Amino acid sequence: MNKLNRRDWLKLSGISASLYPISTQLNKLTSKTRSAIDKDGFVRLSTNENPYGPSDSAREAIKESFENICRYPTAWIKELESRIAKMHGVAPENVVVTGGSREGLKSCGLIYGSKGGEIVAPSPTYEALLTYSDHIGAYVNRVPLDKNYGVDLEEMERRITLKTSLVFVCNPNNPTGTLLSARKLEDFVRRVSNRTMVFVDEVYFDYIDEENYPSMIPLILESKNVIIARTFSKIYGLAGIRIGYMVAREDVAVRIRKAHMAGTNIPALAAANAALDDTDFYKMSLAKNKECRQMFYDVFDRKGIQYLPSHTNFVFFKTGDMVDVVQKKYFDQKVLVGRAFPPYLDWARISTGTVEEVEAFVKATERIY
């Protein structure tokens, strides 16, 4: 990692006036439409979306759900929670359907970050739970990644104190895409859950290439202090309709339900149910993601660009310059890449898209490098 002076840090924090116009353009473009290639010709590979979704069956289910939009979604939520519970081998009382995994993350941030709570987490990682905890006055103890850019479980465990209310692990990690050893993670969760609550964010679980890699959900059956997050936003392509779920011990699930902020809706519930039935779309999404990820690897290898092998729908690569500089270069090629993730200010995250979109990134990379 490059050593950065104060000016560099300010620049990447958005304080530099020169960065503002680029950030403003990026924000406008990334919020335009569902399509990754919008009418202005920009390729959006910055937000870890599945551009192939929703599936045709999910779209049809959304349309049919309009008949029930006049109803509150409680009964439909219970139905989906029961189905998810059966899928994971737990009780319906262990499942909490949320408005995207972000809502569940923030709810847990509220529960475990209030009243002076302390949270131990890797850095960088997915920040939704952590920043929300910060806002309500919690102390978030951010643990640097190890020398291989992986989550440093040993150091995280060392930092746990009697005041620690929750330990957060995103696996595979965002933004690095790195995966923890299955045995190492399970041993860690078993030990640490005897001392405090452990939150395992598994939103990228479907993309894991390692055969028979275990979820931490079975630990719920042992009444462990564990919360697991999943989402329909990624592999199922439902990011825009907001639906995810948490799995936890029944008493913990009750607390999460009480901390709900917005909840989900009937079209989202209908789409999620249809998505679970559509195994062809699921397999196609995985295959296309793997193909596009390999396209990233190939161009990086040709150009001698360092990158981290990924178990997600994005790849973390070393830019050779400050992120905002490289963002601007790709922006000029009409390709949007991910933001900075301090302290890795000379690395960027690039999301998979359609094959056509990734080809545009490959061509831009050939020109830039």
pLDDT by 10s per residue, the chain, length 369? 444 443 444 444 443 333 434 444 445 444 444 444 455 789 999 999 999 999 999 999 999 999 999 999 999 999 999 999 999 999 999 999 999 999 999 999 999 999 889 999 999 999 999 999 999 999 999 999 999 999 999 999 999 999 999 999 999 999 999 999 999 999 999 999 999 999 999 999 999 999 999 999 999 999 999 999 999 999 999 999 999 999 999 999 999 999 877 789 999 999 999 999 999 999 999 999 999 999 999 999 999 999 999 999 999 999 999 999 999 999 999 999 999 999 999 999 999 999 999 999 999 999 999
**Which CA distances in Å does 108 have to 105, 146, 251, 257, 266?**
5, 26, 13, 10, 24
Q: Give, in order, the Cα–Cα distances in Å from 243 to each of 11, 77, 84.
A: 35, 11, 13
pLDDT of 41? 86
Residue 39 has what pLDDT?
57
Instruction: Report angle CA 228, 233, 237 to the nearest 5 degrees.
Output: 145
How far, in Å, CA of 52 to CA of 251, rounded?
A: 37
pTM, rounded to two decimals = 0.90
Ramachandran angles phi, psi of 327, nearest 5°: -55, -45
- Where do the structural domains in the chain lie, given as residue ranges? 6-54+280-368, 56-277
Contacts 24+ apart (CB under 8 A), 30-34: 30/336, 34/240
Beta strands in 62-191 (DSSP E): 95-98, 118-123, 139-144, 164-170
From CA 139, how far away is CA 53, in angstroms rounded? Answer: 38
Instruction: Compute the Cα dihedral for 7, 319, 122, 22 and give only its sign.
Output: positive
Q: How is residue 117 written in tokens?
A: 């709570």
d(CA 130, CA 107): 11
Environment class of residue 18 by beta-carbon count within 10 Å: exposed (0-12), middle (13-18) or buried (19+)? exposed
| Spatial separation of the C-alpha atoms in residues 353 and 213, rounded to whole Å | 25
User: Residue 95 has which token pair?
Assistant: 């499942």
Alpha-carbon dihedral of residues 210, 100, 190, 259, nearest 10 degrees?
180
pLDDT attached to residue 115: 87
Domain 6-54+280-368 coded CATH 3.90.1150.10: yes
6-54+280-368 and 56-277, same CATH topology: no
Buried b (16+ CB within 10 A) or exposed e, 124-147: bbbbbbbebbeeeebebbbbebee
Structure tokens, 353: 């898209």
What residues contact residue 89 under an 8 Å CB cut-off, 6+ apart? Answer: 217, 218, 221
In CATH terms, the fold of domain 56-277 is Aspartate Aminotransferase; domain 2 (3.40.640)
CA distance 258 to 256: 5
Q: What is the largest CA-CA distance in the chain?
A: 58
Q: Is-cis flag, bond preceding 73, omega within 30? A: no
What CA–CA distance (Å, rounded) separates 165 from 138? 10
